[in-house]
Every structure is written in C-alpha cells, then in structure tokens.
Amino acid sequence: MKFTFVKAHGSGNDFPLIDARAIVLGDAEWARVARALADRSGDVGGDGILLLTHSDNEHIFGMRMFNPDGSEAETCLNGLRCTARLGFEATGSDAGRVRLKQSAAQARAVAPIADGVTTIETKVGPVSLVPRDVGLTTGAATPFVDAAIPGLPSGRRFTAVAMPNPHLVAFVDAVDEDELVTLGDWCEGGPALIPARANVSFVELRETGHAPALFVRTYERGVGLTNSCGSAMAASTLAAARTGRIGWSVETRVFNRGGMVRAKADVGDVVTIAGNATFEWDGEIEVDPASGAAGPLRMLGRREEEVAAWERMLAGL
C-alpha cells in the first residue's frame, strides 16, 4: 500500500503524518506500518506515526498516534499540534474539538511563537490525578502529588498524572539522565506497580516569578529517552502548579532538548500548550501492512522556509 505523508515535528518530536481519513486498516496493520516508518534505521524514521482520522458529530476530526514499537498512545500533544494543522488545512477550519484515543482536546491556530513558525494551541483536561487512572496498583485513593510512591525503585517524590496517558513527574535540581533511564527502563518492563507502563520526567525549575521556566527531560513509554514529549510538558506544567512551583494560569516557558512551548495550568486541572507544528518535507512510500515490509522512499518536496524559521527560533533560545 502506498502512503503519502508529511514529515512533521512539534518541539523536535518528529513523525510521519498520514491523512488516514480514507484508509481502512486494522490496529495490527497500523502497528506494523508504524514500526516500519518510525524505524530510525529506515528511510523515514520518527518518534512514531500520526494519523489524521475522520470527523464525527462531536469532533472536527480525530488523531491516532502509534509508537515506534507499534503500541498506540492515548495522546501525544506535540503530535496533536501537527495533526491539527493538517486537519485545519484539509477542512478549511482554524479551530475545533479533536477526538483522541480515550479523550478529546480543543485545538486552534494562534499567533506564531516566532517569526515564520506555524503555531497551534491545544487545551486538554480536566486531567486526572487519581492513582488508578494513572495505572498505579497501589490501592491508594489519594493522588500522589510531590510524594513518594510505594514500590517505585526511587527515593524521589513524584506527581502522578493521567493526561490520559500516564506520567510520573519529579522535580530535580539537575537532571541525571542515567538515573532517568534506569527508572524509565524499569517502568517500561510493565511491573506489577504500573503494568501499562508510564512516561517518566525529571524537571528543573529554571526561573520563577512573573516569567517562570521549566526544563523537562522525559523517558517516553514505547520510545525511550526522547528529546521532546508534549504530554510530559503538559503534565510537568500541571505538576508545577499543583506543587506551588508556578502559579495557576501563569504562562510558563517549557523547554526540552527539542525546543520550547508556552504553557499554563488552570484551576480545574486543565492545561493549555501553544507550540510549533512544523512541516519539514513530503514523501511517499510503499509499506505492506501484512508484513511491515517497506519499499524505498520517494521525496516529493522540502519545506525549506519552515525548517529555516524553526532553526532561527532555536538559535535565539
């Protein structure tokens, strides 16, 4: 089957993005396509694949995201911005409610965060801090907010958030990547404490006051250590507000290895993020959904001006 796609990224989180509104494949077939296209040793590569899916009575369109290991994520906020941009271009809209795997989000086109950088704002929530919603089997009813989690092989204090995908967020003086990977690998094994696995983030509070800033480093479920994870940036913003590190409804710059977004957490556990939805190039490729075998990539065109605009923004951070 021939797939036409755009290679897109949100804050450095990169994906082949497919308009799948007219494509009928089963979950196992999409999983094989994801493993083929997201393979970094292949012609395309990515942090997974994004699918623009059809509308319904309540949603302007939908989004699905499959990780490089073929698992499907409940949400991907960096990917949502990219998918929303494609959906807006396809439907002639600039705002709407988007269907996700287990929830929905509001998305709209907003003023650029930097010159020439197409920017989409997404709003999700209210999100849940109920331990069972995060996938924790501790039996606790009270949320873990800057608290030790029994059974977790770490002495750090975490805030557990379901975006609805599960996140464990710890604030640190300085990120220790070896420690993060060790804990992420443990969670990735699907232990009894959190059998559906979890995203783990270490977060530095870099500025406070009227212009707070966070730096987030994430081990992403199904991906590993990643330069960017949008739902982790959202979960970290909420955790920072919940623990008093930033104020509610205060716009916060959230940085990661991939770039920067503007975020805020509102009372009621709603999180808003505005960030780039950059289209880098267009291509097409044959992938057999039954076997996952991929043919050669055909490049259809590059979006040089968008790439240059994003690089100028990074240079100015």
Catalytic residue annotation: 76, 229
Is 249 known as a binding-site position? no
d(CA 180, CA 274): 26
Residue 230 assigned to a binding site: yes
Sign of the torsion formed by the C-alpha atoms of 191, 171, 274 and 116: negative
Alpha carbon dihedral 53, 101, 6, 311, in 10-degree steps, equals: 140
220 is known to lie in a ligand binding site: yes
- The annotation status of 128 as a binding-site residue, yes or no, is no
Comparing CA positions, the residue from 309, 243, 299, 249 lying closest to residue 276 is 309
Which tokens go with 135? 């996938």
* DSSP secondary structure, the chain, as one string: -EEEEEEEEETTEEEEEEE-TT----HHHHHHHHHHHH-TTSSS--SSEEEEE---SS-SEEEEEE-TTSPEES--HHHHHHHHHHHHHHHT-SEEEEE-SSSEEEEEEE--SSTT--EEEEEE---B--HHHHT--S---S--SSB--TT-S--S-BEEEESSSEEEEEE-SS--HHHHHHHHHHHHT--TTSTT--EEEEEEEEE-TTS-EEEEEEEETTTEEES--HHHHHHHHHHHHHTTSS-TT--EEEEETTEEEEEEEETTTEEEEEEE-EEEEEEEEEB-TTT--B---EEEEE-HHHHHHHHHHHHT-
The token pair that represents 290 in the structure block: 């039954």
User: 165 among the known binding-site residues?
Assistant: yes
**Does residue 231 have a known ligand-binding role?**
yes
Binding region: 13, 67, 165, 199, 220-221, 230-231
Binding region for substrate: 13, 67, 165, 199, 220-221, 230-231
